[in-house]
Structure 1
C-alpha cells in the first residue's frame, strides 16, 4: 500500500517537464519583449546553454498552441483546459478550451477558476519569500520557534527542522505523511499534531514529498507574520499582483461563478462526481486561480520578484526557492540527468542545457495542472485542466518547451506522459481485482469482533455488528466501511477518497484484541488495540 497517494505533485514526473502551457482570449504574440540574451562572454559556465534560440522562435511556438490544445482535447476527451504564456513582462497567450462542466455549454476562458492542487506549493513559496525579504522570518528559521506545540518523532529534528527543510521535502517524514488523516476528516491542526507519531527517515538526506510538511512550515510563517495563511497570501501576493480570482480558501473557490468543476473518468466518460476540499493542507494544495491571474504571478517570477516597478519579493529571498536544494530524482544511469527540488519548486536541466523551474498539481478527484518557466529565455507557460490527471497539462508544456528550444517537438511526450500517469488510477490493496477464495474459512460470531480499538495516530476504530453486518468507523467525520468476510478473521473493506481510486480493496485482520488495517498501515501505523 502506498502511503497517502495524494497526487498533489509527482516529483519524478515533474522532473521530466521542460515547459508547456495554453490559455484564453488575451493578446497573442504580436509584440513580445525585444530583450536579447546576454552574450556568452557575460555568462558563467553554468549559464551557457547547448542550443541557441533564434529571434522569433517563441512567437512560432505560441502560434502552434491552439493546434496542440485542440488535438489533446480531442484525443483525451477531458472537459476543459486553460493555457497562458508569459514572455518577459507581456502575457502573449491566454485561451480556454472546452467547458467548465460536462453537460453544460459554459466555456472555459482565461478567467475560469481551477483548483491548482500542488501548484499551490510554488505559489505559497513566493508568499514565504516575501516574508523572508521583509525580515519577518528566514528559510533557516526553526519551525518550532513559531509553533511551540509542533513536534516530530525525533526531539533533535523537532528542535532543528526549518521552514526550508519542509519546503525542500527533506524532513525525513515518509511520502505523503498525514494525507490519509485528512481523508478521514481531521483538520489542519489535528493532522500536524499527529505527525509526531510517524517514524522518520534520515533528516536532510532523504527526499520524501509531504503536503503536511509544507503546511507545517507555512503555518510557522503565518504565525510569525501575525496573520492566518489565507490572509497573508492575499496581502503579500494576490492583492498586490491584482490576482482577483485567486484564493487560498475553498469557500471562495466554490463561490466563483466562473468555476471549472473537477471531473473523473467513469466507464469511459467524464463525470463531475467528486469535489476535493483541500483546506486542511491549503498551503500545499488549496489554492484556486485562473490562468490570467497566474500569468501575473509568472511575470513577477520572470522579473525577479518585481511587479509594475515595485519589488514585491526580494530576489535574494526568492533565489533559494527556485534553485536546487536537494536531489529529488537521482540519476538512474550515468548518462541521465538528475531532478532537483528547491523550496516549493522543481528545478531541472532540459536537453537543450537550460535550467527549467516547474511544478505539477494533481487531484485524483479531478484536477491536473502544470507550469514551466525557462529563466534564461524569460518565458513561462501554465496549463490548468479540470480532469483527473492524465499528463495532459505536462504534455502541453513539454511540447511547447521543445518548440521554443528546438523549433520542433522532438519527443513523443503524449505517449511518455500517458504511460507515466497510467498507474495513478490503479486500485489500492493486495486483494484489488480478486475474488474470495472458494475454500475460505468462515469468520467467528460477528459480535466477537465488536469493540473500540485504539490507535494514537488514527484515533479509535469502532467495530459494530448490526443486522449480521460488521462495520468499521474511523475519524472525526465518522467514516464508515462495511467489513465483508474474506477468510477466517480477515475481512475486506473499500476505502474511498483522494488517495483510494475506485476499485480499491483493503484487508482488516483481527487477532485476539488487535485489528490491523492494511490501507492505513503504509508507515507501520495501522495496528489498533482493543
Structure 2
C-alpha cells in the first residue's frame, strides 16, 4: 500500500505514459474560428430540433473556446405546458455534474494549503468510520473523490430516500460492508464523495456550502449558482424536473439533494458554468488571474480508476477526482454527466488540448439528449459532419437504466400464486423492527392493509398490500410508481414475525431488520 502514498506522482507519470501511447485526435490542427463558427451554426439548428422532437421540454447550452464563450443560449420551456422559456440564466439542478464542480472547490483548498488531496479523513473528520479499521485509518480525500474507498455505490442513497440528513447518513456508512478491497475497486458513491468534500472543508471552520461559494462561485461571478436547495427554489427563472407520465413530459416531483450537496446538490445556469469551464480550460487561471494552482487542479484529471469503455462511442474511460477521463475518437476529453431519475439531465465535456468545452443542461429524465447533442457537436467541430444519430444511441442507454429493473419487478409480482397463501393475522407483523443502518421500522395495522413507517420519527410511510403468505408489496418510488417492491416477514412458531426484509432497502444486504421487544 506504500505506493498509494505517492499516488499523485505515480498517477501523473502513468497519465503521461498513456498519452504517449494513445493516437492523436482526428484533427491535429487547432480548431479554427471558421470551423467553430460552422459547427455552431449547425448546433443552433440541432437544439431546437431536439425540443421539437420531444426529447426534453427545455435545455440550455454553453460552448467555450480559447477562453471565450462562443455560444450561450436556452431552448424550449422551463416547465412543459407553460409559456416561460429557458434562457442562458435559467437555473437547473445539475445533479452529478456537481462532482467535478466540487472537485474544483477542493482543488482551490489544496491550492491554498488548507488540505492536500492526500490528507487523511481520520485527521480531518475523526468521527467518520468505514466498516473496517485499516481503510478508516488510511482513507484520503483522493480515495473518496476517485470512488475507491470500497463503499458500495448506493450506500447512503437509500437512507437519503427515507429522510435522513447528511450527518446521520455519513455516520451510518460505518455499518455497510465494503463492495471491494480498499483502493482495489471503483464504486461510484455519492456519499463517499460527499464525505471527502465535507472533510476537506472542516479545517476552514465553515460549511461546505459556504466554502464552495467563497472559493469558486463568488470569484467566478457565478451569482446564480449554489449548493443549497433553498437558494434554487428562490429563483423565479428555474427549470422544473420532468418525467414521462402516459407518454408526455410532466413536472410531477421535486428533489431536495442537500444531503449529498457536493455530489449532486449544485444548481446553476449555462452562463455560470461557462465561467467554470473557462477556469478549468485555463488550468486555474480565470480572466487572466491565477485562482487555483495548476498542479492542484491537474490532479483532478489524472486517470486513477478504470471505468471500461464508453457504452456508445467505445472510448476508453477512466475516473480521476470527480471527473471522467476518456480517450475517444476525438482524443483526450474530461467530462461528467448528471441525472436525477425524477427529472434532470446534465453534461459537461471538455477537450483540454483544443481549449474547447461544452455544457448542456436539460430538465427531463430519461433522456440521452445532452450526450447526443454533445457528441453531434464535437463531430461537427472535429470532422465537419455528424457520424451517427448519437441522440438515439444515448436515449437507448438512459431508457435502459430503469426499464429492465422495472420490467423484472413487474414480472416477479405480475400475478399472485393460485391459490395464494393467506397472511397471518395483522398482529403477527405489527411492531417495531430495527438495525444499525436503517434504524427503526414500525409496522402498524390499517384496515385490511399494513403501514410501514421508516426514517427519522417515521418520516416516510408505505402501504403494504398482501401478496402471498408473509410477503407484502409496496410501491416506494415516486419516479417509477408502477414498480413494486417486496416486504417479507419471517414468522416464528410463536406466531410473531421475528424479522422483516425491506426489498427496496436491500441493495447492499442491509434491508433485514429484527423485531425489537414484544
2:134 corresponds, among 148, 156, 166, to 156
Which segment is superposed worse, 81-90 or 335-344?
A: 335-344
Alpha-carbon offset, residue 222 of structure 1: 1.1
Q: Does 1:108 align with 2:86?
A: yes
Q: Which residue, 142, 159, 164 being the options, matches 1:186?
A: 164
Match of 2:71 in 1: 93
**Structure 2 CA distance, aligned partners of 1:103 and 1:339?**
39
The residue correspondences of 1:214-293 to structure 2 (distance < 5 A) are: 214-293=193-272
- More contact order relative to length (CA 8 Å, sep ≥ 6): 1
- 2:152: which partner in 1? 174
Residue 49 (str. 1) matches residue 30 (str. 2): no
1:479 to 456, 460, 480: 460
CA shift digits 1:486-526 (9 cap, x unpaired): 111111111124xx622111111111201111211111111
- Which residue in 2 is equivalent to 1:445? 425
Aligned to 2:514: 529
Q: Displacement, 1:468? A: 2.8
Alignment partner of 1:304 is 2:283: yes
Equivalent of 2:470 in 489, 499, 515: 489
CA distance in 1, matches of 2:35, 2:297: 28
**Displacement of 1:295:** 0.5
CA contact (8 A) 1:116 1:384 kept: yes
**2:139–2:149 Cα contact (<8 Å) kept:** yes
Aligned counterparts of 1:50 and 1:84: Cα–Cα separation in 2: 23
> Which secondary structure state, in structure 1, belongs to the residue aligned with residue 244 of structure 2?
strand
* 1:250–1:331 Cα change, 3 Å: closer
Identify the range of structure 1 (250-259 vs 411-420) with the bigger mean alpha-carbon deviation: 411-420
Displacement of 1:50 after TM fit? Answer: 4.2
1:401 match: 378
Q: How many pairs does the alignment contain?
A: 483
**Residue number in structure 1 paired with 2:113:** 135
1:51 is displaced (CA, Å) by 3.0
Name the SS for the 1:360 alignment partner.
strand
Question: How big is each residue's C-alpha offset from its partner over 1:15-56, in whole Å with a ceiling of 9 and x where there is no partner?
Answer: xxxxxxxxxxxxxxxxxxxxxxxxxxxx96668434334632
| More helix by percentage | 2
Q: Is 1:515 aligned with 2:500?
A: yes
- Per-residue CA deviation, residues 333-355 of structure 1 (Å, 9 max, x unaligned), is xx964210110000001213x10
Task: For residue 466 of structure 1, report the CA deviation from its aligned partner.
Answer: 2.3
CA apart distance, 1:66: 1.3
Q: Deviations over 1:432-451 (max 9, x none)?
A: 25122232111111111111
Deviates more, 1:173-182 or 1:323-332: 323-332
CA distance in 1, matches of 2:44, 2:309: 35
Structure 2: stretches of 5+ with no match in the other structure:
1-18, 492-497
How far has the Cα of 1:330 moved from its partner?
5.8
Q: Which residue of 2 aligns with 1:365?
A: 342
CA RMSD of aligned residues (A): 1.8
Q: Show the 5 A alignment for 1:16-27.
A: none
CA distance in 1, matches of 2:55, 2:305: 37
Identify if the C-alpha distance between structure 1 residues 142 and 412 changes in structure 2 by more than 3 Å, giving closer, same or farther.
Answer: same
Equivalent residue, structure 1, for 2:59: 81
CA gap 1:318/1:203 in 2 versus in 1, 3 angstroms:
same
Distance 2:382 2:128 in 1: 46
1: CA distance, partners of 2:76 / 2:391: 19
Q: How does 1:195-206 map to 2 (within 5 A)?
A: 195-200=173-178, 201-206=180-185
Task: Check the 8 A contact 1:79/1:387 in 2, yes or no.
Answer: yes
Contact kept? 2:334, 2:350, Cα under 8 Å: yes
SS of match in other structure, 1:454: strand
2:274 to 268, 271, 295: 295
Which residue among 395, 410, 414 is the counterpart of 2:387? 410
Moved more, 190-199 or 473-482: 473-482
Q: Give yes or no for contact 2:486–2:504 (8 Å, CA) kept in 1.
A: yes
2:470–2:488: 8 Å Cα contact kept in structure 1? Answer: yes
User: Which residue of structure 1 lines up, in the alignment, with residue 6 of structure 2?
Assistant: none
Report Cα offsets for 1:54-96 as digits up to 9, x if no partner: 6322222111111111111122352110001000111000111
Contact 2:55 / 2:369 at 8 angstroms: preserved in 1? no
Q: What stretches of structure 1 of length at least 5 have no aligned partner?
A: 1-42
Give the structure-1-normalised TM-score: 0.88
Cross-structure match for 2:40: 62
1:339-354 aligned within 5 A: 339-352=317-330, 354=331
> Which whole-Å CA distance do the structure 2 matches of 1:478 and 1:441 have between them?
32
Looking at structure 2, the residues matched to 128 and 195 of structure 1 have their Cα atoms a distance apart, in angstroms, of 22
1:447-494 Cα distance to aligned partner (Å, 9 max, x none): 111110111100111111122321111111521111111111111111
TM-score computed with the length of structure 2 as normaliser: 0.90
Query: Cα deviation per residue 1:143-185 (whole Å; 9 max; x = unaligned)?
Result: 1211111000010000111101110111111122110100100
